[in-house]
Chain A
Amino acid sequence: MATLTARVLPLPVRFGNGRHLVERNFLVYRRSWIVFVSGFFEPVFYLLSIGVGVAQLVGDFTLADGTAIGYAAFVAPAMLASSAMNGAIFDSTYNIFFRMKYARLYDSMLATPLRPWDVATGEVTWALLRGACYSAMFIVVMLLLGLVESWWTLLALPAAILIGYAFAGAGMAMTTFMRSWQDFEFVQLATMPMFLFSATFYPIETYPGAIRWLVEITPLYQGVALERALTTGTVSWTLLINALYLVAMGTAGMYVASRRLGKLLLK
């Protein structure tokens, strides 16, 4: 079954041998499926606590185009974007660092016909598959709670995968520069402020000029803007800029990651 799944997945260009790595991760995670499943609960807990509990204290929000929405509908797409980021970052930093330094997994892989690019694409594809499962379930929860306002929500899943792609690529590139577990403090230092301040809990208009600009250039803000526009139906052409930003970030990350993996492991 595992083999079959890995073989019938749609494969991007040059994906090539990366699928073997996806197959390997799939087999490993079959043994710890509880850890896999439990990952879904965290964003839902946040949604229920802040979107439902705090919402009663906040009241409705007015979006830039003048439509008023409930606070839960405002926060939910941001939780979706944040959880796509967190999942991708976790998979592409902690897990990859462990496999690279301790399990020495990639050393063994590169002793086969696999090339560094295959390792990079394989790991990122795995992170995206896993993230897509969580995001899809989260969107279903949003539907059940009545937090979806538009048919554009159909694009929310591809958008979440795009967010995952951006952060998985960047995370993997960063991981190749990490020296020890202590360096992971920097990962938290980057993701936590983004989670709290990327217009996740209140509109971007709250910030004064310079700070607003600073928030707008962060990658999570791009993701939040994208998801919020889709699920609330306030879609405009500027979303293409958000999407392009994320594509560029992910691709640059993948390129750096595969170059660095080659340098680190093929000496």
Chain B
Amino acid sequence: MSVVLENGRRQFDYWATVYKRTWKGSLVSSFLLPLLYLAAMGIGLGSFVDDNGTGALGGISYLQFIAPGLLAATALQIAVGESTYPVMGGIKWQKFYFSMIATPLRPADVMYGQLAFVAFRVLTTCTVFLVVIALFDGLATPWGLFGLPVALLVGMAASAPVCAVATRLENDSGFAMIFRFGVVPAFLFSGAFFPVSQLPNWIEWLAYLSPLWHGVELSRDLSLGTVDPLAALGNLAYLAAWFVVGTWFAVRGLTRRLIS
């Protein structure tokens, strides 16, 4: 245990230094974008949805409908972003992963460090976003604040498998595909903007497969105070499974790539 902690401390130092230098570059994409979406969709378009009658949404405003969904979706986007180019950079371009394992760190520690940094990015971004949502009256009940741990779990469930893929890719053109056919459709069709029951049947089932849908459901049910314990446990277990299995593959992939 103490070895793990010690290795973790060494990693923390590295990531803190990196982020101190690069945080400004992430301001627009991680803080401003979700806020703009909240304003354009939740408030602007929301006024038309609300005028049209809120029956389909169960009597809440459109802003309160999309806010928990947008929170989970933001976590997904940040997490995937931090698990693609940075991981490949560590292996291929700046090769800092190789320097790391020249110390007492093992490839597994390097991967845990990477994941911990992703968790840090997701948590900080989502905390700020959640505060703004609360100020705009986007939370139907204070329980919506529990959207934060859910967002963290969504982020990790997305980050670990993407890291696993990134450790196996030879060049970055695969990332364009992950964003175009993974992140964007997940963002648009996971129930953040409209109930997935409106989708054609077979796409509805694809939406259920996406970790984001489970996160959106959990986060929204918490905010609206409509949690069904059994369904919530199912959602949690599904997200945890993505994280655990993804981490296992990521550690394996990185070990093979760094030690061969």
Same assembly = yes
List residues of chain B with CB under 8 Å of any chain A CB.
24-25, 27-29, 32-33, 36-37, 39-41, 44-45, 47-49, 52, 56-57, 62, 173, 176-177, 180-181, 184-185, 188-189, 193-194, 198-199
Contact among A56, A193, A206 for B36, CB-based, below 8 A: A193
Contact among A32, A49, A56 for B56, CB-based, below 8 A: A56
CB of B44 within 8 A of CB of A197, answer yes
Which chain B residues border A192 with CB–CB below 8 Å?
Answer: 28, 32-33, 36
Looking at the assembled complex, report how far the CB atom of A71 sits from the nearest CB atom of chain B, in whole angstroms.
8
Complex CA gap A35/B177 in Å reads 8
Complex CA gap A192/B194 in Å reads 21
Complex CA gap A54/B199 in Å reads 10
CB of B45 within 8 A of CB of A53, answer no
CB of A53 within 8 A of CB of B193, answer yes
CB of A58 within 8 A of CB of B188, answer no
User: Is A196 interfacial (CB-CB < 8 Å)?
Assistant: yes
Closest to B56 in A: A57
14 additional contacts, CB 8 Å, given A38-B180, A49-B193?
A32-B173, A41-B181, A48-B189, A50-B188, A50-B193, A54-B49, A54-B193, A56-B198, A57-B56, A58-B48, A192-B33, A192-B36, A193-B36, A196-B40
User: Which of the 9-residue segments A125-133, A182-190, A250-258 touches chain B?
Assistant: A182-190
CB of B194 within 8 A of CB of A56, answer yes
CB of A57 within 8 A of CB of B173, answer no
User: Is A34 interfacial (CB-CB < 8 Å)?
Assistant: yes
- If A58-B49, A58-B52, A192-B36 touch, does A53 touch B44 (CB 8 Å cutoff)? no
Complex CA gap A206/B48 in Å reads 10
Complex CA gap A192/B30 in Å reads 13
Which chain B residues border A38 with CB–CB below 8 Å?
Answer: 176-177, 180-181
- If A38-B176, A185-B25, A189-B32 touch, does A58 touch B45 (CB 8 Å cutoff)? yes
Contact size class for A? 20 to 34
List residues of chain A with CB under 8 Å of any chain B CB.
32, 34-35, 38-39, 41-42, 45-46, 48-50, 53-54, 56-59, 61, 182, 185, 188-189, 192-193, 196-197, 201-202, 206
Looking at the assembled complex, report how far the CB atom of B85 sits from the nearest CB atom of chain A, in whole angstroms.
11
CB of B28 within 8 A of CB of A201, answer no
Contact among B27, B40, B180, B198 for A41, CB-based, below 8 A: B180
CB of A185 within 8 A of CB of B27, answer yes
- If A196-B36, A202-B45 touch, does A185 touch B28 (CB 8 Å cutoff)? yes
- Looking at chain B's contact residues, the main secondary structure is helix
Complex CA gap A46/B188 in Å reads 7
CB of A53 within 8 A of CB of B198, answer yes
Complex CA gap A206/B189 in Å reads 26
CB of A49 within 8 A of CB of B25, answer no
Which chain B residues border A56 with CB–CB below 8 Å?
Answer: 56, 194, 198
Complex CA gap A54/B45 in Å reads 10
Looking at the assembled complex, report how far the CB atom of A203 sits from the nearest CB atom of chain B, in whole angstroms.
9
CB of B40 within 8 A of CB of A53, answer no
CB of A57 within 8 A of CB of B49, answer yes
Can you sample 9 A-B contacts with CB below 8 Å?
Answer: A34-B177, A38-B177, A38-B181, A39-B180, A45-B188, A46-B188, A53-B194, A196-B37, A202-B47
Looking at the assembled complex, report how far the CB atom of A73 sits from the nearest CB atom of chain B, in whole angstroms.
15
- If A42-B180, A188-B29 touch, does A49 touch B173 (CB 8 Å cutoff)? no
Contact among A39, A49, A189, A193 for B189, CB-based, below 8 A: A49
Looking at the assembled complex, report how far the CB atom of B214 sits from the nearest CB atom of chain A, in whole angstroms.
18
Complex CA gap A39/B179 in Å reads 11
Complex CA gap A152/B41 in Å reads 29
Which chain A residues border B177 with CB–CB below 8 Å?
Answer: 34, 38
Contact among A41, A49, A188, A202 for B44, CB-based, below 8 A: A202
Which chain A residues border B180 with CB–CB below 8 Å?
Answer: 38-39, 41-42
